[in-house]
Amino acid sequence: MKTQEYSLLTEYNDTSEVFEFFRLDELLKNSSERFGNKTAIIDKDQEITYKTFYEEVSQLAAEITCENQPVGIIARRSIQSVIQIFAVLQAGNYYIPIDPNYPQEKIDYIVAKTNARLLLDGNRITWLHQEDVEVPFDQKVKPGDRVAYVIFTSGSTGLPKGVVETHYQVMNTLWDLKKRLSLDENDNFLCLASFNFDLSVFDIFGSVFVGGTLYIAEDQRDFATIKNVIEKHNITIWNSVPSVLDYFLKEIELSEAAMNKLRVCMMSGDYVSTELSKTVLNTFPNSQTYSLGGATECSIWSILYLITKENLFDYPYIPYGYPMANQRIYILNEDMTLAAPGKVGQIAIVGAGVALGYIGDEIKTNVTKHCLGGIVKSMKWL
CATH number at residue 278: 3.40.50.12780
What's the mean pLDDT when you consider all of the chain?
A: 90
Residue 371 above 60 pLDDT?
no
Residues 329, 353 contacting (CB under 8 angstroms): no
pLDDT digits (tens, 9 = 90+) for 192-239: 999 999 999 999 999 999 999 999 999 999 999 999 999 999 999 999
Lowest mean pLDDT among 26-40, 250-264, 328-342: 328-342
Lowest mean pLDDT among 79-93, 142-156, 164-178, 345-359: 142-156
Gap between the Cα atoms of 105 and 79, Å rounded: 26
User: Are 131 and 225 in the same domain?
Assistant: yes
**Segment 5-20 mean pLDDT:** 87
Expressed as residue numbers, the domain containing 353 is 1-16+327-382
**Segment 138-150 mean pLDDT:** 75
Domain count, the chain: 2
pLDDT digits (tens, 9 = 90+) for 269-322: 999 999 999 999 999 999 999 999 988 999 999 999 999 999 998 889 999 999
Q: Indicate the DSSP class of residue 133.
A: P
User: Are 280 and 358 in the same domain?
Assistant: no
Gap between the Cα atoms of 322 and 336, Å rounded: 21
The reported pLDDT for the residue numbered 246 is: 98
Which of these three, 295, 311, 326, is where a domain ends?
Answer: 326
User: Are 124 and 12 in the same domain?
Assistant: no
Residue 377 above 70 pLDDT?
no
Q: Shortest CA distance to 98 belongs to which of 108, 90, 89, 88?
A: 108
User: Are 381 and 248 in the same domain?
Assistant: no
Lowest mean pLDDT among 32-41, 125-134, 293-302: 125-134
User: Are 251 and 315 in the same domain?
Assistant: yes
The reported pLDDT for the residue numbered 375 is: 38
Sign of CA dihedral 292, 372, 334, 355: negative
What pLDDT band is residue 160 in, cutting at 50, 70 and 90? confident
Q: Shortest CA distance to 177 belongs to which of 266, 86, 260?
A: 266
Which of these three, 288, 303, 326, is where a domain ends?
Answer: 326
Number of neighbours of residue 262 by Cβ within 10 angstroms? 24
User: Are 316 and 212 in the same domain?
Assistant: yes
Number of neighbours of residue 225 by Cβ within 10 angstroms? 14
The reported pLDDT for the residue numbered 149 is: 98
